[in-house]
Structure 1
Amino acid sequence: MRSTARVLVYSDDANTRQQVLLASGRRPAADLPPVEFVECATLPAVLGELDAGGIDACVLDGEAVPAGGMGVCRQIKDEVFRCPPVLLLMGRPQDAWLATWSRADAAVTLPVDPVEFADALARLLRARLSLDA
C-alpha cells in the first residue's frame, strides 16, 4: 500500500475546504493510506497541481467562484491525461444532472456530511489506487 494518498481540494471558500478536511480526517477509511490534502483556491492553482502530477483524487466545489467546480471538472476531464477521479460538492441535490454533465465520478451536497463524504472519497481512492498498483 502507498504511504499517502494525495487529494486536491478546490474551493474559493476556506470554510468549505476546512469542512472537507474535517470530514475526511487523516484517512477516509481504515483500508486506505493517510490522506495528504493539497488545497487550491483558484483554477490556475488546480491546473498547476494536476500538471505536476501525483494527485489521486480531486474534490471540487461546485459553488466556487469565479470558476465553478462543475466547469472545472469538465475542463480537467477533457485536458488532463489519466485525470484523477472527481468528487463534486453540490449546493443542491437538484444539481445532480449538472454533476453528470461535468463528468464527475461522484457527488455529495453541501454542507458536507462527514459519513457520506468519507464514503464517497474512499470509493474513489480505492478505485484509483487499485489502478496504480
Structure 2
Amino acid sequence: MASDQHHGEAAEKPLTVLLYASDRGRRDNVRLALGRRIAADLPEITVLEVATQPAVLSTIEAGGIDVVILDGEAVPGGMGLCRQIKHEILEGPPVLLLAARPDDAWLATWALADAIVAYPVDPVRLPTALADLVRRSIAAAPSAQP
C-alpha cells in the first residue's frame, strides 16, 4: 500500500518537467505536444523551460524537478549534458533525450539517458514515453520515510 500512498501524494501536486532546448521553437513544440497532462493516471504537469546549460544544472540542483527533457541538438548538446547530470548529480531526476537521427540511439546509451524519443516531436509518442518514464521513476522510488 505504500506505493499507492506515494502515488496519491504525487497526484496531489503537479509534476515538474524541466525542458532544455537552445531553440525557442523546439521548446514550444515540445510544450505543446506535452499539453497539461501526459496521462490520465498522472497529475498535471508544470513545464520549466531553460535555454542554457548552467540554467539546467542550477535548476536541477535547486531541487523539485521530477523529470528532465533534453534536446540532443541543443548547443551545448543535450547528450553531453545528460551524461554530466548522471555523473555529477546524486539521485538526479530521470532524463528523456530528444534525438534527431535514429543513429543517435547509441549516443543516448552513452549519455545514460533513461529514455529517448526521436524528432519530429509526435504529440502521442512524446507524452506516452514521458509518462512511462515517470511511472518507472515512481515505482523505483523508495517509500516515503516516516
* Structure-1-length-normalised TM-score: 0.95
2:54 to 39, 44, 65: 44
Equivalent residue, structure 2, for 1:77? 86
Per the alignment, in what secondary structure is the counterpart of residue 19 of structure 1? helix
Return structure 1 stretches of 4+ with deviation > 4 angstroms: none
| SS, match of residue 64 in structure 2 | coil
Q: Would you say 1:60 and 2:75 are equivalent positions?
A: no
Matched length: 132
Whole-angstrom distance in 2 between the partners of 1:57 and 1:11: 15
Root-mean-square deviation (CA), in Å? 1.1
2:11 counterpart of 1:34: no
Q: Give the unaligned 5+ runs of structure 2.
A: 1-7
Which structure would you say has the larger Rg? Answer: 2
Provide the C-alpha distance between the structure 2 equivalents of 1:7 and 1:111, rounded to a whole number of angstroms.
19
| Unaligned residue ranges in structure 1 (runs of 5+) | none
What's the CA shift for 1:81?
A: 1.2
Deviation by residue 1:80-129 (Cα, 9 ceiling, x = unmatched): 11111111000111110001100001101111011110111001111223
TM norm structure 2 = 0.87
Residue type matched to 2:21 in 1?
S
